[in-house]
Amino acid sequence: MASEWCIGIIGGSGLYAMDAVEDAQWIAIDTPWGDPSDEILCGTINGVKVRFLPRHGRGHPVTPTELNSRANIDALKRAGCTDILAISAVGSLREELEPGRFAVVEQFIDRTVNRPSTFYTSGFVTHVSMADPVCPRLSDIAAQAIAAANGRGAVGATYLAMEGPQFSTRAESRMYRQWGADVIGMTAMPEAKLAREAELPYALVGMVTDYDCWREGDAVDVGQVVAQMQANGALARAMVAHFIAALPAEREPSPIDHALDDAVITAPDEHDPEVMARLDAVAGRLFG
C-alpha cells in the first residue's frame, strides 16, 4: 500500500544545517540508547516531510568513534522517517573520483572496531542481510539529483569505513585500493547496518574532499578537508532539494520495510522483555 514519504537526512561534515526546510523546528528526541548527536530539525521541503540530523552535531563536537549511531537511527525512526538519505565527507581512493565529486555508495567494507553495531542483543538475537546494504530506489534518485544540481557524480562506489579519528597511513590507503574500495570515511558504519536493522531504506552520497594519501607526496590535513567541505556544502543542499523534488508523489513499499521478517532467530518463549522494550521504535512492528 502506498504511503507518504518522510525523509531522514543525515548531514555529514560540512553539512550542519538545511536552509530549505520550511516550518522548521528543532526537536529533542529521547531514545533508550542515549542521546543522539543533536536535536532533529523537523519540517518540510516542497511539501515533503523531512527530518534533518547533523551527524556530528551542530559545530562538529562529536568524534566519529563517539557517534551514538544507535541513538541517531532510533531517533529518526521515532521522528517518523520512512527512508534515510545520508551525506558524508569522504576521501578518494581512485584518480577519477577527484575532490568535489559526489559518489553514490553501493557497497561497504567495515573496518570500525570500537562502536556498538547492532540493536539486537542476547534475548532477541537477529541477523539481517547486508548483502545489498543500500536502497537502489533512493540511490538512483540521489544520482539523478546530483546531475540536476549540476554536480559531478559517480555511482556504484565501495566505501571503506575506518575507525579514525586519525587519517590512514600510506600502507593502509594503498591496501584499501587493492581491496577494491573507492572512497574512505569514518562514519557510515555502523550507521548503514543500524538503518537496515530499523527497516529504514538507506542511501549514502559521499562528498569527496581529498585523495587520502595513496598518491605519492599527497597527505590529508584538516585544512584541506574543511576547505573542500565548504565548497561542497552548497552543492549538497541543492542536491537534497532536487532529491526531494524527484520523489514520486506516493511512496510505494520497499522490501527493506520488512527486513526483519526472516531475521529474528530467538524463539518467542526466550524473548527478553527488557531487550524488547528498547526496540519499541526500531522493531515495534513485530510486537504489534
Are residues 188 and 129 in contact, defined by beta-carbon separation less than 8 angstroms?
no
CA distance 42 to 23: 8
* Share above pLDDT 90 across residues of the chain, in percent, rounded to a whole number: 86
- Condensed to tens digits (0 to 9), the pLDDT of residues 194-228 reads 999 999 999 999 999 999 999 987 777 777 777 77
Res 93: pLDDT: 98
What is the CA 255 to chain-centroid distance, rounded?
18
Amino acid at 241: A
Catalytic residue, from 83, 210, 218, 269: name it.
210
**Mean predicted lDDT score pLDDT of the chain:** 94
Q: Is 210 a catalytic residue?
A: yes
- Condensed to tens digits (0 to 9), the pLDDT of residues 274-287 reads 999 999 999 999 98
Res 17: pLDDT: 67
What average pLDDT does this structure show over 78-107? 96
What average pLDDT does this structure show over 106-135? 97
* Share above pLDDT 70 across residues of the chain, in percent, rounded to a whole number: 98
Contacts of 15 (CB under 8 A, 6+ apart): 54, 87, 233, 236, 237
- Condensed to tens digits (0 to 9), the pLDDT of residues 42-60 reads 999 999 999 999 999 998 8
User: What is the pTM for the complete model shown?
Assistant: 0.96
Q: Is 272 a catalytic residue?
A: no
CATH number for the region 6-287 comes to 3.40.50.1580
In total, the chain counts a number of residues equal to 288
Catalytic residue, from 38, 74, 182, 212: name it.
212
